[in-house]
Chains A and B, each alone.
Chain A
Amino acid sequence: MDPRTFCAQSRLVVVAGKGGVGKTTVTAAMARMAADLGLSVLIVEVEGKTGLAAAFGAEDLEYDERELAPGIRARSLTPDIALVEYLEEHGLRRISKRLVKAGLVEVVSTAAPGIKDILILGKVKQLERGGVADLILLDAPAAGHAVSFLMSARGLKDIVRGGPLHGQADDVLQMLNDPSRCRVVLVTLAEETPVNEVVETAFALEDRVGVDLGPVVVNGLYPVLEGLDADPAAAGAGASTLAEAADFRARRQELQQAQVARLAAALPLPQLHLPSLFTVDLTPSHIDVLAAALATAIEGLPAPAGVR
């Protein structure tokens, strides 16, 4: 599939996955890839402190959007500010700030859990409808929370049976259930627990939220190194260290491949493989490398049905 086609499939892409699998890294790489194709990208962060801005060498994000790199803007949405905006747009401008200050969010979100989520998703929907960017990437809360986050619209409709919030939930649900507007890209590692959890999350999202699932990104795979089985004897004193390190790598590659196969068997979604860069710190140049790897992986996907 052409990466352009991939980016044009829906304006909103929700990137979700368990903590520590590199969800934010994948969000950054996808943004970079899209921007390199000439698309305008907006990244929306909802949990704060994701390290996204740091990956682009920028300060932590705030509610107001900021440019992280040419073509890539980002902002952090919080329920408090989203609620103020919402109240102002619904004729309660005069008391909105006071209500929020008095702890309305805490009260209201206790009264109807999911209101916080719906306020954020409502804001995301407004951005999506407003066409503020060619591609909007939502860095979703960690795995289990992603399901309840996206489920909030359905849950809220049962609690709040009328009024503007009910309408808001309806609109959000429509967006989530329309594959031409929104899809979820799940991120995982080729390890036992992350694979189990991504399979569980995928089925929950499909069954309970009814949202379209894009390919699964398998992050952090050891790049295959040809010639690892060479005889290290010629290395002299270092031979045993080289052999141990090679064994370690070969063994890990094997384990990862087994997990990739297990994922493929359990989850009928195409996979996009991203390499480990052998680093614990992500810099803009690493993101460039991952963006290129992502584009290559997408090119390896079959073209969508109907497009030839």
Chain B
Amino acid sequence: MAPPFTNLVVQSDILVCCGPGGVGKTTVAAALAVEGARRGRRTVVVTIDPAKRLADALGLDDLTDTPRRIDGDWPGELWALMLDPRSTFDGLVTRYAPEPGQAETILANRFYRNIAGALSGTQEYMAMEKLFELHNDERFDLVVVDTPPTRNALEFVDAPRRLTRLLDNRLFRLLMMPARTGFRAVNLATQAFLRTIGKVVGSEVVSDAVTFFQAFEGMEDGFRQRAQGVQDLLKSPCTAFVLVTSPRRDAARETEFFAEKLGEAGIDVEALIVNRMHPRFAAVEVVSDPTLAPLYRNLSDLGRLSDGEEAHVAALAQRVGAPAVRVPELETDVHDLPGLARVAAHVFG
């Protein structure tokens, strides 16, 4: 029984689950959301994982980017959705376009489509954007976010700033110049420079980029303010960060790195959930009997594994400075609400 974990679901408005890939983060996020509903909160859980794990864990065939309500025997509500980064981004562009035709020009631009689909960090940025939207949606009072398993630990915190950084990039400033200045001399120098880059990467690539930035003119401020709003929300006391990990060395290393980066960004980790723990068996006195040898051997194998795992958890909890809760490795994946309730029972005692 760990009271801080219950408070997490009762008192926070936003729970951000982050951690390395392959540790069961989506399932844990869904379990936290189920607990939220059980504690009477109108909860929505959003995933970025396109592998449909969230839908699967909730026992659904599919999820879209529109919240879908899941019925259950609880006083609160449970809703779920799967992020579609592209349509979220399109929505932002439409919102901030000062002139009617401008949004269409941008949405049709190939460079924009690449940004929306493939710019490193865009998914994370859109996840944070969605979080902002859901937080302001009066239908919900608890938002649980399952972040993408990114190696660049902090992309999701840093993501809103990435686009603005892109807009501030010196090369981009240069690309914007033909639109901004009337000086033909500057224009010519820029053109020569662009041609050089074009020789390497292909001239179509460069002209797409130039078109995009010219179309984007006048929209940066809106984006910048929004990015700041998201950033502030992440750092506000109503948002809690939960690190989900497994007791393997690589996962532990990455988690430690996450915690460090969050700390640098001024964000505290509220809880550490260590998933996929192997069972711990008590030590027994060894009776000399050859038929028992395989049984002792097995106990020592599993004991060695468990000792190693426990050492990682202890070291991690200390370095992260947050209470740790252990969730055993389940025999199969979770495919329904009772399964999620079992995971939640391990977290909440």
Contacts and interface: CB of A to CB of B under 8 A. Distances in A.
Contacts of A123: none
B185 interface: no
B282 A19 contact: no
B206 A242 contact: no
A232 B51 CA distance: 44
Contacts of B110: 159
Nearest to A282: B249
Interface stretch (B3-11, B28-36, B85-93, B288-296): B288-296
B43 interface: no
Contact of A245 (B206, B248, B295, B331): B295
A111 B206 contact: yes
Given A102-B170, A236-B285, A242 B196 contact: no
A241 B282 contact: yes
A193 B10 CA distance: 31
A49 B261 CA distance: 15
Interface in A232-259: 232, 234-238, 241-246, 248-249, 251-252, 255
A244 B12 CA distance: 40
Category for how many chain B residues contact A: 35 or more
Contact of B291 (A104, A144, A230): A230
A164 B249 contact: no
B265 interface: no
Interface hub of A48, A244, A278 (most chain B Cβ within 10 A): A278
B289 A235 contact: yes
Contacts, number: 194
B332 interface: yes
A49 B295 CA distance: 38
Nearest to A228: B294
Contact of A103 (B170, B250, B287, B305): B170
A191 B279 CA distance: 17
Nearest to A110: B119
Contact of B281 (A144, A232, A244, A279): A244
B304 A279 contact: yes
Contact of B22 (A20, A109, A115, A281): A20
A47 B151 CA distance: 8
B201 interface: yes
A159 B117 CA distance: 15
A142 B111 contact: no
Interface of A: 18-21, 24, 47-51, 54, 87, 90, 92, 95, 99, 102-104, 106-115, 142, 144, 159-166, 191-194, 197, 225-228, 230-232, 234-238, 241-246, 248-249, 251-252, 255, 276, 278-282
7 contacts: A99-B197, A104-B171, A112-B205, A113-B118, A230-B291, A245-B298, A281-B308
Interface of B: 20-23, 50-51, 53, 110-111, 114-115, 117-120, 149, 151, 166, 169-172, 175, 196-197, 199-202, 204-206, 208-209, 246-251, 253-254, 257, 279, 281-282, 284-287, 289, 291-299, 301-302, 304-305, 308-309, 312, 331-333
Given A242-B292, A245-B281, 14 more contacts: A19-B149, A87-B200, A95-B196, A102-B171, A110-B166, A110-B209, A160-B201, A161-B204, A193-B51, A225-B294, A227-B291, A227-B293, A242-B296, A242-B299
